Amino acid sequence: MPSDPASVPTRALLEPFYRAVEGVLVGQRGLIDRLLIGLLTDGHVLLEGVPGLAKTLAVRTVARALRLTFRRIQFTPDLLPADVIGTQVYNPRSGEFTVKQGPVFANVVLADEINRAPAKVQSALLEAMQEHQVTIGDTTFPLPRPFFVLATQNPIEQEGTYPLPEAQVDRFMLKVLIDYPGKEDELAILDRMGSVDASTHAEPALEAADLALLRRTVDETYTDTKVKQYLVDVVRATRKPAEYGLDLAGLIQYGGSPRATLALLRAAKAHAFLNGRGYVTPEDVKRIAPDVLRHRVMVSYEAEAEDTRPDEIVKRVLDHLPVP
């Protein structure tokens, strides 16, 4: 097993990034870590919370702390797919069509309030998120690398929202739930953001080359075979809970897919790296599993009638399975 110091010098590259982001955001270290996990593992992140919790500010601040191109797309009910990916424009003088690329052609794309737009618009991101390319007319265009979609959404119970298609949700590596800040954090927010001229600008702190080095280091994070077996058991238990002695019959409609298994491994590696280790522990898997699985475990109507949510099912799986 590799020793911890191997990853320490590379991990130190993140300290200026944390200082830049935390100079704007208050008490959001867990959220910053989740966004970083997505950035370091080539994964997209979905943030959910009621309006006013600084979801958009968090994504914009993290993006500005990177020296990468950034675009924001405000999703609304009247948005069209062409407004996201681009379209062909007819030139009457030449009699030819030219391609006008949409805002999705950037390194970091903020899909703000993504569930305010109907499914056809949300689906415009499917090809971009999975294959890092976009097809406009008969031509396919590669997207800039790296490419990340950091999306925010309001709880689906709110008026004027559309549920994300299952295929769209599964392409997000993490779904992070944001709650109200604690009392001390809210007082700190008042002190920092209470004035009209309060700064919400983060200075760039990471170069593209730094990000590439960080991603290579995360890839090299050691994962023991027993930890991999535990990780696979966690995901498989959401598909066939009876095989693992879990009494969840009738509560799960669909469990995590193999894509969820891959996402859990990559996220666990990044979690270990952010905590200064060059190896993954079962605790890394347990800490990040809810964010990886909560949007991939589809509960049944029976579970909804009993008000059993995916987070509770994932917790029962993690509490039940033996840790190596």
- 247: alpha, beta or left, given left = phi > 0 and alpha = psi -120 to 50? beta
Looking at the fold, whether 138 and 178 belong to one and the same domain comes out as yes
- In 3D, which of 284, 297, 294 has the Cα closest to residue 324? 284
Percentage of the chain beyond pLDDT 70 is 94
Looking at the fold, whether 160 and 200 belong to one and the same domain comes out as yes
Task: Give CA–CA dist 161/97, Å, rounded.
Answer: 35
Domain count across the chain? 2
> pLDDT grade, residue 123 (50/70/90)?
confident
Helix axes 282-293, 225-239, angle to 10 degrees: 30
- Mean pLDDT across the stretch 58-72? 85
Tell how many helices (H) and how many strands (E) occur in the chain: 15, 11
> pLDDT grade, residue 1 (50/70/90)?
very low
**Top-confidence range, 46-55, 84-93, 210-219:** 210-219
What's the whole-number average pLDDT of the chain?
A: 85
> pLDDT grade, residue 9 (50/70/90)?
low
- Mean pLDDT across the stretch 235-248? 89
DSSP label at residue 263: H
**What CATH number is given to the structural domain containing 300?**
1.10.8.80
- Mean pLDDT across the stretch 259-272? 95
**What CATH number is given to the structural domain containing 20?**
3.40.50.300
pLDDT at residue 5, as a whole number: 41
Q: What is the amino acid identity at position 138? A: D
- Mean pLDDT across the stretch 182-198? 75
DSSP label at residue 66: B
Look at residues 213, 243, 262 and tell me which one is the last residue of a structural domain.
213
The residue range of the domain holding 160 is 4-213
Look at residues 213, 238, 268 and tell me which one is the last residue of a structural domain.
213
Task: Give CA–CA dist 184/173, Å, rounded.
Answer: 31
* Cis check: omega of the bond before 146, within 30 degrees of 0: yes
Looking at the fold, whether 229 and 89 belong to one and the same domain comes out as no
Coil, strand or helix: which one is 279? strand
- Mean pLDDT across the stretch 236-254? 87
pLDDT at residue 19, as a whole number: 87
Looking at the fold, whether 297 and 192 belong to one and the same domain comes out as no
Pairing label, strands 44-48, 172-177 = parallel
Task: Give CA–CA dist 267/36, Å, rounded.
Answer: 10
Mean pLDDT is lowest, of 28-32, 48-52, 120-124, 193-197, for 193-197
Order the strands of the 148-153 sheet from edge to edge. 70-74, 108-112, 148-153, 44-48, 172-177
- Mean pLDDT across the stretch 21-39? 86
Question: What does pTM read for this prediction?
Answer: 0.86
> pLDDT grade, residue 302 (50/70/90)?
confident
Looking at the fold, whether 164 and 228 belong to one and the same domain comes out as no
> pLDDT grade, residue 62 (50/70/90)?
confident
Mean pLDDT is lowest, of 7-16, 101-110, 142-151, for 7-16
- Mean pLDDT across the stretch 226-244? 93
Look at residues 169, 189, 213 and tell me which one is the last residue of a structural domain.
213
> pLDDT grade, residue 155 (50/70/90)?
confident
Percentage of the chain beyond pLDDT 90 is 29
Name the phi and psi angles at 178, rounded to 5. -110, 130
- Mean pLDDT across the stretch 95-110? 87
Give the tens place of pLDDT for each residue, 158-180.
666 777 777 778 889 999 988 88
Looking at the fold, whether 246 and 274 belong to one and the same domain comes out as yes
Looking at the fold, whether 268 and 302 belong to one and the same domain comes out as yes
- Mean pLDDT across the stretch 239-252? 86
> pLDDT grade, residue 183 (50/70/90)?
confident
Position 316 pLDDT exceeds 70? yes
